[in-house]
Structure 1
Amino acid sequence: MTRLVVVGNGMAGARLVSEVRARDKDVQVTVFGAESWQPYNRVLLSNVVAGTMVPDQVRLLDPAWYADHDVTARLGVEVAAIDPEAKVVTTADGHAEPYDVLVLATGSEAVVPPVAGAERAVAFRTLDDCQEILAAASEARRAVVVGGGLLGIEAARGLAGRGLPVTLLHLAGHLMERQLDAEAGLVLGETLAGLGVVTRTGVVVEEILGGGVRLADGETVEADLVVLACGVRPVTGLAAAAGLEVARGVVVDDELRTSDPAIHAIGECAEHAGSVYGLVAPAWEQAAVVADLVTGADKGARYRGSRLVTRLKAKSVELAAMGETHVDEASDTSAEVVRFSHRARGTYRKLVIRDGRLVGAILLGETAAVGTLTQLFDRGGPLPGDRAGLLFPGLAGAAVADSPVRMPDAAKVCQCNNVTKGQIRACWESGARDVEAVAAATRATTGCGGCRDAVEGIVGWLCEQEGVSA
């Protein structure tokens, strides 16, 4: 009997364990989680800060799941060392666990900038961090969030939604500079301003004080609560100490094996072909590959990398960014760029096209084009000649692929879980009459949650067609 040990019980580790059990009930599975919580959906923590969800609603597995599926889960237990020669992991409390296959799913840790007084702030990364932020927010009069990336924006929007005046401080010249160009960053900042978040870009935080933040130019921004969202770094110390190859992350091949063939790595701690992925969809794709290999369900399974679609999960802010979004149009003549900007309405749309195929896009503000463009980007298929119809579905007779009527069954609705419209239709035909039932059967909506409206639309349309109640 294969002894599988998983180090890390977050979104990648928990998914791997469930994928293994779905394929094989005989593999002996032991999982260690440094956090004492049941595995939870880290992507939805901003909803907990905003108060639109409670911790129980972001849980990935029911507490009884482990016993029901014969999985040994040691929560709140940190693995301190790996002995690759003996094939044993040792925990901080001295327990030794042997393995035949070891999977590292240690994830990432929050980056805390080396500024004076950093201990006075709260890093936003875990459910414990959420609870600390919420406790402080209940008594605070104003808040500062340091970091204008995805997580920082979600934290700032969540706190503003609780009625706190929020100032968002960002070192770069515009928000989400990795995913957005300067104009999109500007439009996003203006959208946030309308929701109670004041954005300051191009500023350097020099010290965190008891009552706020001091900037490099000497200015003090007052705050009772300071939240750090300055990025994350892969947790690789355990792997490095065991002699595994480590670069930015734990280096893996297409089988997600490390430099030791008995050890795999998945999720945010893994580096594949030079890329470390910080989103949930790649982690879950990797978990499926390793589950196939460990159980023998598909010995030919390989991971070839992921095409990333970033979705901002903040109430009243619609944003999707994918692929290549930064193009030097003055020098790069091979790229065709199509854009539309309407700052007064908080709308910005940009397509980057090469050889007649979509290689990048930014979609900010309410737009019916998100589903269509995500499908075109994901498939890499040829684009229609009417570029305006891509940005404005419905104009000049353009097909609206987001409409459940016209969306092909092969269209991918849930990017995180690779669920198509056809799968949702089949699920509905088997008796699933609401989103929760579809989610239980397909896992659609259980990742970033960005596809929930689309799934609701498809289920509603199917019910309407058949004259049944949703």
Structure 2
Amino acid sequence: MPTHSTHPARRIAVIGNGMTGSRFAEEVARRDPAGERVRVSLVGAEDEPAYNRVLLPGVLAGRYSPADIRLPVPETPAVAVRTGTAARSLDTARRRVELDDGTGLDYDELVLATGARAAFPPIPGLAAADGAPEDGVTALRDAADCRRLSALARPGGPVVVLGGGVLGLEAARALAERGMRVSLVESSPWIMRRQIDRPAAGILAELYSRLGVAVHSWRVAARWIPGTGLELDDGRVLPGDALVVTAGVRADTELAAAAGIDVDHGVRVDDTLATSAPRVHAIGDCAQHPGGGSGLVQPGWEQAAVLADLLTGTRPASRYTGARPVTRLKAEGIELTAMGETEADDTAETVTIADPHGGRYAKLSVRDERIAGAVLLGFPDPAAAVAQMFDSRAPVPADRLALLTGRPTPAPEQAGPAPLVCRCNAVSRDDLETAWLDGARTREDIARTTRATTGCGGCTRDVDALLSGWNDARPVPAP
């Protein structure tokens, strides 16, 4: 007969109710729903429930409501959540966190999930002496930023986005959807410099131009002039009622550093997500692991799962060994997936398809019969298969071109798991169909049952298309 422990549940304090902190609490609840092993106390500085900040550009564009991007809250005695409460100080010797409401949390294990905040470049006019944005300037990092930008964005008016990375491009597209006249400024030679090569960036910039966004690459901002616009290093002034700064983030490490924990660009952690302080762990954007992963949804969630395995004792051998990032640009009307090496060296075999007129570009780099890197712009069909092959380090088919342009069928002995629809949560088409057969008929049902669409949001259209086809082909009786 099973026996139950008579020991009291261990106390886990989690600082940060963002995407990774809330995911950790959910992972713990899945492993210990009754709270017999551990009890989680999660505190977050924002007043609102946990939400998917990656989808904020979609809220800005009007494709989602704030309720649409909320993350699941575990309904279990294992987890208690407090919003609107920030950590003020940490005493690792006493194992206690002091909170800004005058209370404190004693812990057996502490999880830092403090995330990162927007970094404002030292450009005149962007921020006041206390770091607060000047008039007309905002980031797009949290829900408050999204509300601020929505208030500034008036249809027909000009707006400038500073930063040509993924968030900047998604924000620019969202603002164009709202009817704004958008200029985007990137100081690197081309947009998405870390994820794609120059030819792909040129085609992407042209696609944005067709959508009404003027892209200014290799230009440095000189100063922001409130009520006028952004002055560039060549003397031009781009008109703007608002300036959206998406020029990078800075890990929130102050709490850890003040407590004497080893900090570099982030809080240093090992493969068990342990910091230099006993019983203190870090996950997500605030954590710095040798294998990378900060700034990305999937690695943060992998870290949350590994740490839940360890702290609940369900998988003591679980380890986080690093990230193999796949980037998806979530911009209406544009399909872009990129992964691995941006510029492969001469040790890699490369296949490239360029169709500037059609707005399409594909590049596949192969080394030792494995994918070293890939860019797929305007090729949505093979993107999932290529990403899964990259993720699993599977051998590449002999016909490289067929892999880029279609869905080559593997030989029986090479057949692997069903292709993933939602990579962030490892949800396959088979998983979705099983959920549908069990009664999940809407996207909300699917998200609740499988977690699909709750990550980067890149699978939302695929999930909607599958549901539409299944519901039409197999009509559901009206309630």
> Scaled by the length of structure 1, what TM-score is found?
0.92
1:138 CA displacement: 2.9
Summarize the alignment of residues 321-470 of structure 1 with structure 2, pairs less than 5 Å apart: 321-327=338-344, 332-393=345-406, 398-399=408-409, 409-456=417-464, 458=466, 467=474, 469=476
Q: Distance in 2 between matches of 1:245 and 1:140?
A: 49
Q: 2:353 and 2:380 mapped to 1: Cα distance?
A: 12
Q: Could you tell me which amino acid in structure 1 is paired with residue 336 of structure 2?
A: L
- Map of 1:270 onto structure 2: 287
- Give the deviation of 1:420 after TM superposition: 2.4
Contact 1:269 1:276 in 2 (8 A): no
| Contact 1:248–1:276 (Cα < 8 Å) also in 2 | no
Structure 1: distance between partners of 2:106 and 2:145: 33
CA apart distance, 1:371 = 1.3
Residue 182 of structure 2 corresponds to residue 182 of structure 1? no
Deviation per residue, 1:246-280 (Å, 9 max, x gap):
12211111111111230111111111115242111
Inter-partner Cα distance in structure 2 for 1:373 and 1:352? 11
For 1:442 and 1:39, how far apart are their aligned partners in 2?
A: 18
Instruction: Tell me by how many angstroms 1:29 deviates.
Output: 1.7
Deviation at 1:416, TM superposition (A): 0.5
Residue in structure 1 matched with residue 83 of structure 2 by the alignment = 75
Q: Give the whole-Å Cα distance in 1 for the aligned partners of 2:20 and 2:296.
A: 10
> Contact (CA 8 Å) 1:32, 1:78: kept in 2 or not?
yes
Q: Which whole-Å deviations, capped at 9, do the CAs of 1:18-41 have from their partners, x for residues lacking one?
A: 111122122222111111111110
Deviations 1:96-140 (A, max 9, x none): 211001000011110101111102311121110000000011377
Unaligned runs of 5+ in 1: 402-406
Equivalent position to 2:45, from 34, 54, 57: 34
SS of residue paired to 1:183: helix
* Aligned residue type for 2:57: S
**Structure 1 residue runs of 4 or more that deviate by more than 4 Å after TM superposition:** 456-465, 467-470
How far off its partner does 1:61 sit? 3.1
Question: Corresponding residue for 1:193?
Answer: 209
Name 1:404's counterpart in structure 2: none
Query: Matched residue of 1:248: which SS?
Result: coil
Q: Which residue of 2 aligns with 1:47?
A: 58
User: 1:291 maps to what in 2?
Assistant: 308
Matching residue of 1:125: 141
Alpha-carbon distance change, 385 to 206 in structure 1, aligned in 2, over 3 angstroms: same
Deviates more, 1:269-278 or 1:376-385: 269-278
Match of 1:98 in 2: 106
Q: How does 1:80-91 map to 2 (within 5 A)?
A: 80-91=88-99
Q: How many residues align?
A: 455
2:16 matched residue in structure 1: 8
Letter in 1 for 2:168: G
Aligned match for 1:147, one of 163, 183, 192 = 163
- Partners in 1 of 2:96 and 2:31 — Cα distance? 25
CA shift digits 1:138-184 (9 cap, x unpaired): 37711011100011111111111111110001101100000011111
* 1:294-319 deviation per Cα after TM superposition (whole angstroms, max 9, x unaligned): 11121221112221111111111111
Q: Give SS of 2:357's match.
A: helix
- Please name the residue that 2:230 is paired with: 213
Deviations 1:374-413 (A, max 9, x none): 121111111111111011116xxx4499xxxxx9653222
Is the contact made by 2:158 and 2:182 (CA closer than 8 Å) also made in structure 1? yes
Taking the aligned partners of 1:463 and 1:138, their CA distance within structure 2 comes to: 38
* Cα pair 2:336 2:380 within 8 Å, conserved: no
* Aligned partner of 2:120 among 112, 123, 145: 112
Change (3 A) 1:400 1:199: farther
**Contact 2:293 2:322 survives alignment (8 Å):** no
- Displacement of 1:452: 2.8
Distance in 2 between residues matched to 1:113 and 1:56, nearest whole Å: 32
**Alpha carbons 1:38, 1:61 under 8 Å: kept:** no
Question: Structure 1 residues 50, 317: closer, same or farther in 2, change over 3 A?
Answer: same
**Offset at 1:56?**
1.3
Does 1:227 find its partner at 2:244? yes
| Distance across 2 between alignment mates of 1:283 and 1:335 | 30
What's the CA shift for 1:70? 5.7
SS of 2:380's equivalent? coil
Question: 1:145 and 1:347, CA in 2 relative to 1: closer, same or farther beyond 3 A?
Answer: same
Q: Give CA-to-partner distance per residue, 1:33-65, whole Å, 9 cap, x none.
A: 111111110110000111111211111135xx5
Percent identity over paired residues:
44
Distance 2:388 2:178 in 1: 35
TM-score normalized with structure 2 length: 0.90
Q: Secondary structure of 1:172's match?
A: coil
Q: Greater shift after overlay, 126-135 or 446-455? A: 446-455
2:404, 2:211 → 1: CA distance? Answer: 25
Q: CA deviation at 1:71?
A: 3.2
Q: Which residue of 2 aligns with 1:204?
A: 220
After the TM superposition, which of the residue ranges 103-112 and 415-424 deviates more from structure 2?
A: 415-424
2:424 & 2:440 partners in 1: Cα distance? 20
Distance 1:134-1:456 versus aligned 2 partners, 3 A rule: closer
3-state SS of paired residue (1:253) = coil
> Post-superposition shift, 1:12?
0.3
The answer as to 2:272 corresponding to 1:261 is no
Residue 430 of structure 1 deviates from its aligned partner by 3.2
Is 1:59 matched up with 2:70? yes
Amino acid across the alignment from 1:411: P
Q: Aligned partners of 1:115 and 1:198: how far apart in 2?
A: 21
The whole-number CA distance in structure 2 between the counterparts of 1:152 and 1:174 is 13
> For 1:369, what is the secondary structure of its paired residue?
helix
SS of the aligned residue for 1:158 comes to helix
Residue 46 of structure 2 aligns with an amino acid whose one-letter code is E
Q: Is the 8 A contact 2:388 2:420 kept in 1?
A: yes
Q: Match of 1:143, SS?
A: strand
Using the alignment, how far apart are the partners of 1:96 and 1:440 within structure 2? 33
Which runs of no fewer than 5 residues in structure 2 stay unpaired?
1-8, 127-133
Please report how far the alpha carbon of residue 458 of structure 1 lies from its aligned counterpart in structure 2 after TM superposition. Answer: 4.9
Shift of 1:463: 6.6
